[in-house]
Structure 1
Amino acid sequence: MNVLLSGVVGSVAHGLAHEGSDVDRLGMFAVPTERLHGLHRPRESHVSTGPDVTLHEAGKAVRLILACNPTAGELLWLARYETRTPLGDELVAMRGRLLSERAVRDAYLGYARQQFRKLLARDPATDPAKAAKHARHLVRLVRQAEQLHRTGHLTLRVEDPDAVRELGESFAAAPLRAETFLARAADRLDAPGVLPEAPDEAAADAWLRRVRAAFYRPGE
């Protein structure tokens, strides 16, 4: 596969991994451009387990990034990469221009509220580890959204993992406490921040066209 960018994401990248945590890898690849011209389009994502690897085709990856999808967007903010190409470097360099105020708020809070619903549906007495995991994700997503809103930059590795774990355990034990946490976050994200109203779609489109040109090999 024509992998453009890949690396370790998830709890390892966040500094929240523990013994037994999965090692999740994420990447993007480019299909040969001529394959996009036929009747049947190629698969846009390849997901495997053991090891856990998710690869998105460049077109899908950039659409997810423009929507500020928290999972897909991590790929542009890694401290280290396992695969990094010139085209991948170009996308990393424009990562701040692909953010937008409303998309960050909706995507990150949307994912955090999804974790809250999972927390409410799970009995912490029967599965405390899973409940704590949902709660940690909730806390992390809110903090990431607030950092992006405030600075336009994302640091994946949390500064205070013990505090995130402690707050997560508190929410896991009493999930309704997280409601106030989410409501306050929503208020902060509604206040003026540094992010633009809309992402730079023209830059994203130009990058994707460069990818298509680079991998166009007619006659092969």
Structure 2
Amino acid sequence: MTVQNILLSGVVGSTAYGLAREGSDVDRLGMFAAPTETLLGLHTPKESHVTTAPDRTLHEAAKWCRLALGGNPTVMELVWLPDELYEVRTPLGDELIGIRGSFLSAQRVRDAYLGYATQQFRKLESRAGDHRTAKHARHLKRLCHQGLELYTTGRLAVRVVDPEEYHRFGDAVAADPASARSLLAHYETAFAETRSVLPDRPDERPAEAWLRRVRAEFYDTAA
């Protein structure tokens, strides 16, 4: 299915992090605007479209905003990508990048990033010896590091500084999954002891104003 009105889209995942190796999947994430008139009736359109081959996830603008306001690490990447990784970048997409800081809040960033990291830890524990253990370990380390950086600086560097360090960590955890526990505990302590530069709550007003501009822009484009 062809999704119309894509506002922002780019390459995410291991390619964006700098962790891709030969054979790695190329993941794409984007956002689209549903025609405004289709949102007014009993049956509203799908809010997300997910495909494989190619691996692509597209969220409707309002859903993306709700997820981002909740601190979702996956959707948040979309507005912090290096310029060269964007494949679609419209004026409304640029506006969203310009207000990305307003989506952030201390507790939601801490809870979301540590929560996702804990999920990765549980996966690698339950899949000890599985070929995916190293991948889960790399994601755990990345989520912890990126989350703490966002929590303390208000900025998200999607691309990791030393990819090989992450691969070495993944290999070490694949050999001894329990060794990942100390890294998770370290970051839990770091979050608890560090003062965040982020506000207690996100500022929803810029997102609300932006979404209203999106609705006005696509009012007359119903299929």
Q: Name the TM-score, length of structure 1 as normaliser.
A: 0.95
Q: How many residue pairs get matched?
A: 217
Change (3 A) 1:122 1:207: same
| Alpha-carbon distance, 1:177 to partner | 1.8
Letter of the 1:217 partner, please give it: D
1:94 aligns with 2:99: yes
| Alpha-carbon distance, 1:219 to partner | 8.3
Q: Structure 2: how far apart are the matches of 1:111 and 1:132? A: 16
1:105 aligns with 2:110: yes
Q: Which residue number in structure 2 is paired with residue 27 of structure 1? A: 30
Q: Which residue number in structure 2 is paired with residue 132 of structure 1? A: 134
Partner SS for 2:19: coil
1:115 aligns with 2:104: no
Q: Which residue number in structure 2 is paired with residue 154 of structure 1? A: 156
Letter of the 1:103 partner, please give it: R
Identity %: 59
Structure 2's unaligned 5+ residue stretches are none
Q: Which residue number in structure 2 is paired with residue 168 of structure 1? A: 170
Partner SS for 1:82: strand
Structure 1's unaligned 5+ residue stretches are none
Runs of 4+ in 1 over 4 A off after TM superposition: none
**Which moved further from structure 2: 191-200 or 39-48?**
191-200
In structure 1, which of residues 8, 11, 16 is the aligned counterpart of residue 11 of structure 2?
A: 8
Q: Which residue number in structure 2 is paired with residue 188 of structure 1? A: 190
Deviation readout 1:93-118 (Å, 9 max, x if unpaired): 11112111111111111111101011
Q: Name the TM-score, length of structure 2 as normaliser.
A: 0.94
Partner SS for 1:169: helix
Letter of the 1:76 partner, please give it: V
Q: Structure 2: how far apart are the matches of 1:218 and 1:53? A: 24
Q: Structure 1: how far apart are the matches of 2:52 and 2:42? A: 30
| Alpha-carbon distance, 1:203 to partner | 1.1
| Alpha-carbon distance, 1:172 to partner | 2.2
